[in-house]
Homo-oligomer: A and B are copies of this chain.
Amino acid sequence: MHGRSEDRKTMNPIKTAIFGTGFMGRVHLEALRRLESVEVSAIAGRTSEAARRLAAGFNIPKVAADYRDILRDPQIDAVHICTPNAQHFPMAKEALEAGKHVLCEKPLAISAVEGEELVALAARHKLRNCVCHNLRDYPMVQQMRRLREAGDLGEILVVQGTYFQDWLLYDTDWNWRVDANAGGPSRCMADIGSHWFDMAEHITGLRVTSLCADLQTFHPQRKKPKRSIETFSNKLQGAEDYIETTVDTEDFGAVIFRMGEQLGGQRGGRTGEQTVGRARGAVTASQVSAGRKNRLSIEIYGTKSSVAWNQERPDELWQGHRDTANQTSVKDPSLLKPEARSYADLPGGHSEGYDDTFKQVFRRFYASIGAPIVPEYPQFQDGLRQLKILDAVLQSHKMRSWIEVPAVVGDNKDKNRNQPEHEGRL
Chain A residues close to B by CB (< 8 Å): 9-10, 13, 23, 30, 33-37, 39, 56-59, 157-158, 160, 162, 164-167, 169-170, 212-214, 216, 218, 231-233, 235-236, 252, 254-256, 258, 278, 280-282, 284, 286, 288-295, 301-306, 311-335, 345-356, 400-402
Contacts and interface: CB of A to CB of B under 8 A. Distances in A.
Contacts of A355: 345-346, 352-353, 355-356
Given A214-B258, A252-B158, A165 B326 contact: no
A353 B305 CA distance: 27
B349 A352 contact: no
Given A282-B282, A320-B166, A328-B327, A349 B56 contact: no
A163 to B, nearest CB: 11
A290 B321 contact: yes
A301 B290 contact: yes
B346 A350 contact: no
A332 B235 contact: yes
B212 A214 contact: yes
As for how many copies of this chain the complex holds, the number is: 4
27 contacts: A9-B56, A13-B59, A34-B34, A35-B57, A166-B320, A167-B347, A289-B306, A290-B322, A291-B305, A292-B320, A293-B330, A293-B331, A293-B348, A293-B350, A294-B350, A295-B349, A312-B330, A312-B349, A314-B351, A317-B325, A318-B328, A325-B327, A328-B328, A346-B354, A351-B354, A353-B356, A401-B401
Given A281-B254, A301-B289, A328-B326, A57 B36 contact: yes
A158 to B, nearest CB: 6
